[in-house]
């Protein structure tokens, strides 16, 4: 049975539909994919989603173009931060930020965040269950089986930024990351870019930047 959530004016909705309804309510964010319609059945639900044309998921786009250069990565990151801050403002935690869950327009390079199937309502207290992709989960989840929304999101942003620039994940497994783990970068990456990624991938959650900090980082300006 799918978890359901009551949304004012919409009744009880499947959690994923409810989260998309919250983030899509006006004024909508151009960097979040729109839910066009959904249908309920006794044992499942179906969603009709916006499909920008031409577009592909960011993972495939990076593979076909041998990664992104720093200029395009900056454009992608700024739009991702806009999308995530919008989700926060609507009380929604995405919880599965990764290149596969970002659509990129192949002509304008505009970005849209999709797939709220692992999401939850935003809260200040710790989450004690994980939904999402383990390779993008923060080290505190593996160490203490708990994490907070902000630092966990920023960790996944750091992994995503590394992946689209370097073509690989920063760590073989986040479960073994410690303060002594060395983060290796390709020689061509700028110092400011390396510093931002390293900051996002701070092992201690308290040492990571906020989304606002990332948005105002010198690398993006």
Sort strands 92-93 and 120-121 into parallel, antiparallel or unpaired: antiparallel
Give the Cα separation of 59 and 99 in Å (integer): 5
Structural contact between residues 112 and 168, judged by C-beta atoms closer than 8 angstroms: no
213 is catalytic: no
Structural contact between residues 63 and 99, judged by C-beta atoms closer than 8 angstroms: no
Identify the DSSP state of 159: H
- Separation in Å, CA 75 to CA 91, 121, 145, 161: 25, 28, 34, 11
Residue 108 corresponds to which tokens in the numbers above? Answer: 């304008």
Helix (H, G, I), strand (E, B) or coil at 5: strand
Give the Cα separation of 147 and 145 in Å (integer): 7
Structural contact between residues 172 and 206, judged by C-beta atoms closer than 8 angstroms: no
Catalytic residue among 40, 43, 57, 96: 96
Active site positions, annotated = 96
């Amino acid at each position: 049975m799918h978890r359901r959530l009551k949304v004012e004016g919409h009744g009880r909705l499947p959690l994923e539909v409810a989260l998309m309804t919250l983030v899509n309510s006006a004024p909508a964010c151009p960097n979040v994919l729109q839910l066009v319609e959904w249908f309920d059945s006794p044992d499942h639900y179906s969603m009709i989603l916006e499909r920008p044309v031409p577009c592909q998921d960011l993972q495939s786009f990076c593979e076909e173009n041998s990664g992104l250069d720093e200029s395009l990565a900056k454009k992608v990151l700024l739009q991702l931060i806009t999308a995530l801050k919008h989700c926060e403002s609507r009380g929604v935690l995405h919880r599965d930020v990764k290149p596969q869950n970002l659509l990129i327009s192949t002509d304008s390079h505009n970005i849209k965040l999709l797939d709220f199937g692992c999401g939850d309502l935003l809260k200040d207290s710790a989450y004690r269950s994980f939904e999402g992709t383990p390779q993008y989960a923060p080290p505190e989840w593996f160490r203490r089986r708990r994490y907070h929304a902000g630092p966990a999101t920023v960790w996944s942003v750091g992994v995503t930024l590394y992946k689209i620039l370097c073509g690989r994940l920063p760590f073989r497994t986040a479960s073994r990351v410690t303060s002594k783990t060395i983060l290796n970068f390709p020689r061509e990456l700028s110092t400011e870019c390396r510093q931002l990624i390293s900051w996002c991938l701070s092992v201690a959650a308290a040492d990571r930047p906020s989304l606002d900090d990332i948005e105002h980082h010198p690398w993006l300006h």
